[in-house]
Chain A
Amino acid sequence: DAKTTQPPSMDCAEGRAANLPCNHSTISGNEYVYWYRQIHSQGPQYIIHGLKNNETNEMASLIITEDRKSSTLILPHATLRDTAVYYCIVRSNNAGNMLTFGGGTRLMVKP
């Protein structure tokens, strides 16, 4: 699976949009971009995933560049409960593939 690069940490003001970038320049055509987050001392929580089109759900939006070499996770109105480590993972959907976690971005939402 392709490697991802994320900033180690980011701050965001409560109520503002949090934009978390991810670089995956070696992504291949059949690989999806997944985002998970991990709140302290809990298991990872699925947020969203996409292949090439932008995606939106009740939690977030995922913007994937046209060349698919990078993406941005957008939390439109960050709350204090969004403070967590956010992981961007690239993976194909073949049955044998598991999720491999990198360092992630530690997002701190501040009042």
Chain B
Amino acid sequence: GAVVSQHPSRVICKSGTSVKIECRSLDFQATTMFWYRQFPKQSLMLMATSNEGSKATYEQGVEKDKFLINHASLTLSTLTVTSAHPEDSSFYICSARALAGGQNEQFFGPGTRLTVL
């Protein structure tokens, strides 16, 4: 299947700092990327949907000014957690959708574990 990478795989930061997470589709072009968040022992929760070249669509309850999403190219989307606080500590997972052959499969990155001290 298609490969999606995330960087960094884990990050520890101080409260009040900003953290940028990159998501790349390595062997396909992804017009749409999704960002999910997963707290311990919970399921994945969709945060936002990002289409290349346009503004992201955020799910209810997700602050767009706190979680900045940029999808500047067909292979790269970034999520910036601004002014991070301990409650933002979570597992952040991106997903990219490949549009090929009439199917639109969704492939997931390995996740980024954010710990805010």
A33 to B87, CA, bound (A): 34
Q: How far is the CB of A64 from chain B (nearest CB, A)?
A: 18
For residue B58, CB closer than 8 A to chain A, the reply is no
Asked whether A45 lies within 8 Å of B108 as measured between CB atoms, the reply is: yes
Asked whether A44 lies within 8 Å of B93 as measured between CB atoms, the reply is: yes
Chain B interface SS verdict (over half): strand
Contact A44:B103 (CB < 8 A) given known A98-B34, A98-B49, A99-B95: no
Across the interface, name the chain A residue whose C-beta is closest to B1.
Answer: A46
What is the size, in residues, of chain B's interface with A at 8 Å between Cβ atoms?
A: 26
Interface size classification for chain A: 10 to 19
For residue A100, CB closer than 8 A to chain B, the reply is yes
Instruction: Please list the residues of chain A having a beta carbon within 8 angstroms of any beta carbon in chain B.
Output: 36, 38, 41-46, 87, 93, 95, 98-104
